[in-house]
Amino acid sequence: MKILLAEDEVDLSKALVAILSHNGYEVTAVYDGEAAVEEAKSKAFDCMVFDIMMPKKDGIQALTEIRAGGDNTPALFLTAKAEMDDKILGLNAGADDYLTKPFAMQELLARLRSLMRRSNAYHSDQITVGNLVLNTSEQELKSQNAVRLAGPETKLMEILMRNPNKEFTTEELFEKVWKDEQENMDIVWVYISYLRTKLVAVSADLEIIGEEKKSFCLRLK
């Protein structure tokens, strides 16, 4: 699971990275709101943890900008402030939860697990990006035409369509789709090629950018 951590207190950030990493999370740490926005726009995360009081852009400004771009990644705010106004501002900006400093690490870990469980449970079966619609339950990809997808094609397309314009390495896609199967990473390129052919077949206004054994993302043509 990948977490974006935006916390300007360096010592606290390092401590959080160490504990989250020890608990199996892959953490990208930044120290201001502007950097958080840039990371969120270019990479996919399973959860975001933002301090409210940060330089350049505060956490509320950063999350508001991220949400305006259509990113619905679960987000949790950390803050030294306990006033109700700050909680309301954070939730109105698109935060899913709120934790006041100082806090127990076990509570943070529990809240992160809860956020990600809820996020997975609420995913719609239908995803629309550009003129392309993916129905995950029917395993159908549709634009001007429609095609059926195999199971791995559906999983791979769902990842890309839930995170348009965000890059995934070959290793990340392999872990998400084929982790428990007896395959090697070359299978990713095979299925990317299948999906590219099907995007053309349905006349989609999207394309998968990337080269074999490197990173891939879904973008408008």
**Could you list the pLDDT tens digit for every one of the 221 residues in the chain?**
899 999 999 999 999 999 999 999 999 999 999 999 999 998 889 899 999 889 999 999 999 999 888 788 999 998 876 666 666 777 778 888 888 888 899 999 999 999 888 766 566 788 999 999 999 999 999 999 999 999 999 999 999 998 888 899 999 999 989 987 778 899 999 999 999 999 999 999 999 999 999 999 999 98
194 plus 94 within the same structural domain:
no
pTM of the model as a whole: 0.73
Same domain, 178 and 109: no
**Strand pairing partners for 148?**
140
> Coil, strand, or helix at residue 129?
strand
Q: Which pLDDT does position 121 carry in this prediction?
A: 56
Could you say which of 98, 121, 144 is where a domain stops? 121
In a shared domain, residues 101 and 156: no
CATH number at residue 115: 3.40.50.2300
28 plus 115 within the same structural domain:
yes
> What per-residue confidence (pLDDT) applies to 140?
95
116 shares a domain with 72: yes
Range of the domain at 144: 126-220
Give the pLDDT score at 117.
82
* Pair (132, 116) in one structural domain: no
Do 108 and 139 lie in one domain? The reply is no
Q: Counting Cβ atoms within 10 Å, is residue 82 exposed (0-12), middle (13-18) or buried (19+)? A: exposed
